[in-house]
């Protein structure tokens, strides 16, 4: 959307996790967004999803907000994360 890219979902098959593939896929997506003129990237992640938060934190995303009760089954807060490109 304009100068902003948004990660909606990023999934690595369970049998391929913890091999650096999520990090490489995210890095590729951010590079593509940067090349297309995006200035920042945003995303929402479940508060309970520590693996994804670690991945995004390692990639330079910072927590900028929290939306209570956004996710359902089970209910959870959404953490808003952002990275300048
Ligand atoms: C989140 C996800 C994409 C990570 O993919 P992955 O290929 O396993 O991740 P990588 O091997 O590239 O790991 C990169 C970094 O992420 C973090 N990380 C990944 N899995 C983790 C785990 N189980 N626990 C803690 N940190 C984890 C670590 O910081 C890791 O760096 P390190 O290896 O130096 O410790 C994967 O777990 C997944 O598909 N989860 C289900 C879908 C999901 O939750 N997507 C995000 C929704 S917004």
Q: How far is CA 30 from CA 27, 48, 70, 73, 77, in A?
A: 5, 24, 25, 30, 25
Q: Supply the pLDDT for residue 2.
A: 82
pLDDT in tens, the chain (85 residues): 789 999 999 999 999 999 999 999 999 999 999 999 999 999 999 999 999 999 999 999 999 999 999 999 999 999 999 999 9
Q: Supply the pLDDT for residue 56.
A: 98
Host domain of residue 27: 4-84
CATH number at residue 40: 3.40.630.30
Structure tokens at 72: 């359902």
Counting the structural domains of the chain, the total is 1
CA 55 / ligand 1 centre spacing (Å): 5
Distance in angstroms (rounded) separating the CA atoms of residues 4 and 72: 26
CA 25 / ligand 1 centre spacing (Å): 11
- Residue 25: count other Cβ atoms within 10 Å of its Cβ: 14
Q: Is the CB of 14 under 6 A from ligand 1?
A: no
Q: Is the CB of 10 under 6 A from ligand 1?
A: yes
What is the DSSP code string of 12-25? --GGGTTSSHHHHH
Q: Is the CB of 17 under 6 A from ligand 1?
A: yes
């Amino acid at each position: 959307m304009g100068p902003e890219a948004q990660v909606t979902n990023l999934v690595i098959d369970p049998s391929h996790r913890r091999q650096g593939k999520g990090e490489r896929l995210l890095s590729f997506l951010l590079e593509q967004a940067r090349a297309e003129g995006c200035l920042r990237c945003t995303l929402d992640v479940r508060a309970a999803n520590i693996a994804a938060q670690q991945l995004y934190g390692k990639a330079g995303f910072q927590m900028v907000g929290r939306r209570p009760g956004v996710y359902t089954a089970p209910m959870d807060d959404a953490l808003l994360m952002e990275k300048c490109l």
